[in-house]
Structure 1
Amino acid sequence: MNYLSGVELYYCSSEKIKVNNIIISDDDYKHIVKVMRHSEGDEIYVTNGKGEIFLSIIKDIKKDGLTVSIKKVLKYENELANVFFCIPKLKSNDRFEFALEKCTELGITNFIVFDSERAIHKSGKKERWEKIVLSAMKQSLRSYLPNIDIINTVKDILKPDGRKILLEQNSGKKIPELKVNREEKYYFIFGPEGGFTNEELELFGKDDFYSLASNRLRTETAVIKCASLILE
């Protein structure tokens, strides 16, 4: 199925979708009514963030929200549901958030944020990150709202089943050589700005090491480049 283009996409959580009606409030309501100046009878697109986009007609506008009726349901498959990006917290929140935003636009839907021994900065709020990926999902007209999990250590990444891919500059294997299949989970693990410690590296087998480029990349650059290569 072809993706949408040239339209505005709004979000509504599944619990606000009742049979053939959707109730929209808060920021999206304000944008629809006060910014886009939509009125009753206009068509808009709404996603539940779970692979469905609803072509809807505005039925009723009130002071604190609006109701739309569903005219058509478009369903999309999450082609990267088995891909997880494990990203360390960075010194610059702006750079970290930029990586989240661009990866969401490229279709990554699972993020794991972790601390490491050499992480330079250990702050950031999940609530803000969730707003960033929500905005990026709508802006790029995608239908899957990314999930963000936070873990404490690199070792915690090893707990779930799946193949672990550690991005290491000096590895002889390149990411384009990796064949990602739909039957297996893949955890792409990006190093912190201070690098992994030897103890952290020893947690992984040599077969887990892959390189993105011969030169050193900023963490956020590596994250975005990896997302682009996976899509090719």
Structure 2
Amino acid sequence: MENLILSNIELYYSSSYNLKSQIITIDSDESSHILNVMRHRMNDEIYITNGTGKIFKSQIVQINKKNIDAKILNEFKFEERFPNITFCIPMLRNNERLEYALEKCTELGVTNFIIYKAKRSVPKKVNLVRVEKILLAAMKQSLLSWLPKIRYVGSMDELTQFDGEKIIFEQSSNNYFSRDKINSKMNYLFIFGPEGDFTADELDSLKSSVKYKLAENRLRTETAIIKVAALL
């Protein structure tokens, strides 16, 4: 059986494939990159992920004006690293810091995100379309095969309705967070505090949460997020 050495490939994305014909169709944005930037041509072999754990070794068999068709030659399956963990990230004043944290977490294998609005969050809109593009690019760049899922909720009350053991990261905790604190058979919500900290009401709604410390010194929100992803 052929082994796939991930460091030796360029990875593309398509969710449009026909299992019966074993043909993958790659849309205009991705096909333009394949043809005009990477200079691939007919019969070239390329690697494509469907974003749900599969990478296909494929051969370009048709070049159209707006897409490319590729024939599947081989299929490789990969397990999702942390299917039981969701990172719950507050809206930040600086969108670039939020996007950076999401990008780095994706590179480290995190695949489930919720962006939430805390009471002390600065009022602004989250451009989920832009964020999804950043996550897609990070997945491909890191040669991963699971496209992260992301959603937005408008309050802590909404956030606490999701199932899973809730973990918050508090400077006052005496227990440091580490990978061995996580049970692979349980679902978790990792809830990161906003820049202005939680309000008393929000802390009350999180009183049953498990609390862990990340460092002796205080960390920026985005630094804490990336550190937890790196510890997993």
Structure 1 residue corresponding to 2:153, chosen from 143, 151, 154: 151
Task: Deviation per CA, 1:143-171: give whole Å up to 9, x if none.
Answer: 00000011111122221221100111111
The letter of the residue matching 1:7 is I
Structure 2 residue corresponding to 1:213, chosen from 212, 215, 228: 215
Percent of aligned pairs sharing the same letter = 47
| Residues 120, 193 of structure 1: 8 Å contact kept | no
Task: Deviation per CA, 1:63-91: give whole Å up to 9, x if none.
Answer: 21111000000000112000100000100
CA distance in 2, matches of 1:203, 1:216: 23
1:108 matched residue in structure 2: 110
Secondary structure of the 1:175 match is coil
What root-mean-square deviation, in Å, do the aligned CA atoms of Structure 1 and Structure 2 show? 1.5
Structure 2 residue corresponding to 1:171, chosen from 159, 170, 173: 173
Task: Deviation per CA, 1:21-65: give whole Å up to 9, x if none.
Answer: 001122110110000000011110000000000000111112211
Which sits farther off after the overlay, 3-12 or 218-227? 3-12
Unaligned runs of 5+ in 1: none
1:73 matched residue in structure 2: 75
Unaligned runs of 5+ in 2: none
1:18 matched residue in structure 2: 18
1:183 matched residue in structure 2: 185
Aligned residues: 228
> Superposed, which structure 2 residues align to 1:121-132 within 5 Å?
121-132=123-134
| Residues 112, 150 of structure 1: 8 Å contact kept | yes
Structure 2 residue corresponding to 1:193, chosen from 192, 195, 204: 195
The letter of the residue matching 1:149 is R
**Residues 205, 45 of structure 1: alpha-carbon distance in 2 compared, 3 angstrom cutoff:** same
2:98 is the alignment partner of 1:96: yes
1:226 matched residue in structure 2: 228
CA distance in 2, matches of 1:80, 1:197: 29
The letter of the residue matching 1:17 is Y
CA distance in 2, matches of 1:97, 1:6: 27
Which sits farther off after the overlay, 141-150 or 178-187? 178-187
The letter of the residue matching 1:190 is F
Task: Deviation per CA, 1:105-140: give whole Å up to 9, x if none.
Answer: 000000000001111353221111100000000000
TM-score between the two structures when normalised by the length of structure 1: 0.94
2:25 is the alignment partner of 1:31: no
| Residues 167, 211 of structure 1: 8 Å contact kept | yes
CA distance in 1, matches of 2:169, 2:94: 20
| Residues 89, 114 of structure 1: 8 Å contact kept | yes
Give the superposition deviation at 1:181.
Answer: 1.8
**Residues 214, 86 of structure 1: alpha-carbon distance in 2 compared, 3 angstrom cutoff:** same
| Residues 113, 148 of structure 1: 8 Å contact kept | yes
| Residues 165, 209 of structure 2: 8 Å contact kept | no
Secondary structure of the 2:48 match is strand
1:6 matched residue in structure 2: 8
**Residues 217, 44 of structure 1: alpha-carbon distance in 2 compared, 3 angstrom cutoff:** same
| Residues 90, 121 of structure 1: 8 Å contact kept | no
Secondary structure of the 1:202 match is helix
1:58 matched residue in structure 2: 60
